[in-house]
Structure 1
Amino acid sequence: MRDADGMSTTPSPQRHDWAIHIGGTVAICVIVGLLNYLIRGGQFAMSMLYSFSIGVQISAYIALLLQGVEWLLRRWHGAPSAPRKVWVGWIWMMPCVLLGSVMGFTSGQWLADTLSGNRSTLPWDLTDRRFALSLSFTLLVSLLSSMFFFAVYKLNAARLQQAQAERQAAEARLTLLQSQLEPHMLFNTLAHLRVLIKLRPDEAQQMLDRLIDYLRATLLASRSTEHTLAEEFERLSDYLALMQLRMGERLRVRLDLPAALAGLGVPPLLLQPLVENAIQHGLEPHVDGGELRVSAALQGRRLTLEVADNGTGLPAKPSAAGAGTGFGLAQVRERLAQRYGDAAHFELTPQAGGGSMARIELPA
């Protein structure tokens, strides 16, 4: 999940791992302390003190040992900054669990003795049978806990790698869609320029100069996956200047971008095909031309972008209005689906007074 433009609001897998580790350690200490109280009797608080003192230190020692082994393995493989994965396998986990359990048991019992004023017998002071039982129980709990945590870490690492692969695939798809969109816009403009060269050479020269300026400003920005609304409206202004050279007074333009929304991020050239569609199918066929209005508004945490014209309007059949038959409209739908999924909404509808309106709703 994301908040405004990119700051993630979903806990990272590393933070999730540590939350499970801490929560699991606390739960295990409570269970062991309760079992010890029920079996051996004594004071409940004292049983919990020893359980938490020993359990937390065993968990900490094992975690530190595993982190150290993972760091050494990364250095050994020459990948200290490699993408996150589970480097420590079962063969490395077992020695860490055994050593961490012995260290944690000894230091945890000493800490509990210090806090309580008691003096416990150490494992090597016990008879063989009690020593074996005490050590076996400690190792069993440590091993089962470590196996659980290790399985959770592997699952989270696999999920992270899958999410990264899906994100890279989506970004590649968006780049492909954008590269397909740019030639479509460029070829349409060049086709108009070719006609204009024969009819009005002077205006064709002005249009060519505008086109060069437009391409210089647009091509570099279009290689990014996101830019601000202010930059999006600037690119539209450049493109509409080209169209006004061709259509003259028949094309009237109104761009409405509140200053408070200028810094919001959107995919590059998102509105370009909608503007092109409105001109080509709405205003150009109209004898008197008309007005093109592009606006942005914020409603709660939803950003609404509208491209409206008062031209010839949409075909009479609802299916044509709803689906959109043009290349540009199909690209808009697909880009929104790739980037935002179900969080984005796009519709193209007729206006009551004539013309059409394309509306995009996005998470702000």
Structure 2
Amino acid sequence: MKIDWIAKLRHLLQVIAFCLAIAAIHYAFRPHKAYEVALFYSLSIGLLSWFLIDFGRHFFPSSEETGWPAGLAGVALPAVGNVLGFLGGTSITNAWFGFASWYRYDAVELRVTAGVTVLSALAITYFFYTRGKSAWLQAKVSEVRSQASEAQLKLLETQLEPHMLFNTLANLRVLIGTDPARAQDMLDRMIAYLRATLTASRSTEHPLANEFDRLRDYLELMAVRMGPRLAYTLELPDGLREAPVPPLLLQPLVENAIRHGLEPKVEGGHILVSARCTGRDGRTPGTQRLVIEVTDTGVGLPPVLPPAGPGQSFGLAQARERLATLYGADGTIDLIATSTGGTSARAVFPLKLPSQP
């Protein structure tokens, strides 16, 4: 029998708060009695009833939705627990203060005491029942949202891979007619790249080192077509190699840099992919952030960015949407004009290394 002691402590404090309120109500009905007597009665009855019910429920099969015993036990347990709590708590208080037994009380006084106790017991039982069901519903909502986010990420990834394949095949078609030898080399590299892609884990995240390895294969594939017009550098600090990132996050950024930055430039250019960690910021207190930049020396940003669509900013839009799905407003991708005339695509999102809790 596994008991959540933090939850028990929270329930205890809530019951004490209820008992204080009940004592005040009881005193309002019987102002001629000392408040401390009403308080002692309330605490004795309430705490004993809570102990019997909250610990007793672990001896019965419980409903997954509420954590409350299912069937007849769910009705009998609070009823028996409250009756025993009333009798036991009353006896304890009588013994403490030296009062006569409860059955010697005035009939009116006994009815008032019993009535307040019954109403209070019903209110407290209903409170804990609804709290348990509400917590279960919130957990189910979180689970559904997580599954929906994962499904959306899978959909985005399946959209990106055909997009990359389409562009590569289009480039391969051009090379077949102009440079068959380079087309053969490109085809071999594409086969190796697709084999690695298909055998990779289909999780929503993988180590940043895997992302850089995959990106290196893609850049080598593009270098076959562009030749000396494409040069690249990958900078990944050792401390960030295991940082979890969404698969295929960097490839659309590099593809965008090649298509809109380097290809329109006659002499081509250089692409630098780097990763670094920033300190804590004000947006998410206590959270470090991973910054990944793809910087090119191409023609720079146009006055008006092309709309998302086939052959345009599709990959960039998908990468932004994937970060938004995983991190909300904490995941961003910005395009920045560099001082040398090229463009930098900067992805920023919370960093959580495997060693962190």
Give the AA of the match of 2:21: I
**Does the Cα contact within 8 Å between 1:322 and 1:348 map onto a contact in 2?**
no
Residue aligning to 1:166? 145
1:59 aligns with 2:50: yes
Give the AA of the match of 1:228: P
Instruction: Encode CA deviations 1:50-104: one digit per residue, 9 max, x unaligned.
Output: 5333312211222244555552xx5xxxxxxx6x556668986543322111222
User: Of 234, 257, 270, which residue of structure 1 is paired with 2:213?
Assistant: 234
Residue aligning to 1:249? 228
Instruction: State the Cα distance separating 1:279 from its structure 2 match.
Output: 0.9
Change in Cα spacing, 1:209 to 1:122, as seen in structure 2 (3 Å) is farther
**Does the Cα contact within 8 Å between 2:61 and 2:70 map onto a contact in 1?**
no
Residue aligning to 2:336? 349
Residue aligning to 1:335? 322
Question: Counterparts of 1:275 and 1:16 in 2: how far apart (Å)?
Answer: 49
Give the AA of the match of 2:46: G
Give the AA of the match of 2:131: V
Question: Counterparts of 2:5 and 2:347 in 1: how far apart (Å)?
Answer: 35
Residue aligning to 1:103? 84
1:297 aligns with 2:276: yes
Instruction: For 1:126-145, list aligned pairs within 5 A.
Output: 126=105, 128-145=107-124
**Does the Cα contact within 8 Å between 2:68 and 2:74 map onto a contact in 1?**
no
State, as a whole percentage, how many aligned pairs show the same letter: 42
Change in Cα spacing, 1:254 to 1:146, as seen in structure 2 (3 Å) is same
User: Of 6, 19, 29, which residue of structure 2 is paired with 1:29?
Assistant: 19
Farther off after superposition, 61-70 or 203-212:
61-70
1:190 aligns with 2:184: no
Farther off after superposition, 241-250 or 34-43:
34-43
Question: Counterparts of 1:56 and 1:230 in 2: how far apart (Å)?
Answer: 56
**Does the Cα contact within 8 Å between 1:321 and 1:348 map onto a contact in 2?**
no
Aligned residues: 337
Segments of structure 2 that go 5 or more residues without pairing to the other structure are: 280-287, 352-357
Change in Cα spacing, 1:32 to 1:54, as seen in structure 2 (3 Å) is same
Instruction: Encode CA deviations 1:309-331: one digit per residue, 9 max, x unaligned.
Output: 001112133x5599995111111
SS at match of 1:99: helix
Residue aligning to 2:285? none
Residue aligning to 1:220? 199
SS at match of 1:295: strand
Instruction: State the Cα distance separating 1:141 from its structure 2 match.
Output: 1.1
Question: Counterparts of 2:237 and 2:347 in 1: how far apart (Å)?
Answer: 17
Give the AA of the match of 1:219: L
Instruction: For 1:4-83, list aligned pairs within 5 A.
Output: 21-34=11-24, 39=31, 41-42=33-34, 44=36, 48-71=39-62, 74=63
**Does the Cα contact within 8 Å between 1:106 and 1:122 map onto a contact in 2?**
no
Change in Cα spacing, 1:154 to 1:327, as seen in structure 2 (3 Å) is same
**Does the Cα contact within 8 Å between 1:226 and 1:265 map onto a contact in 2?**
yes
Question: Counterparts of 1:88 and 1:105 in 2: how far apart (Å)?
Answer: 21
Question: Counterparts of 1:60 and 1:231 in 2: how far apart (Å)?
Answer: 53
Instruction: State the Cα distance separating 1:290 from its structure 2 match.
Output: 0.8
SS at match of 2:341: coil
Aligned-residue RMSD, C-alpha: 3.2
Change in Cα spacing, 1:123 to 1:315, as seen in structure 2 (3 Å) is same
Farther off after superposition, 342-351 or 93-102:
93-102
Question: Counterparts of 1:140 and 1:90 in 2: how far apart (Å)?
Answer: 23
Give the AA of the match of 1:57: L
Instruction: State the Cα distance separating 1:198 from its structure 2 match.
Output: 3.2
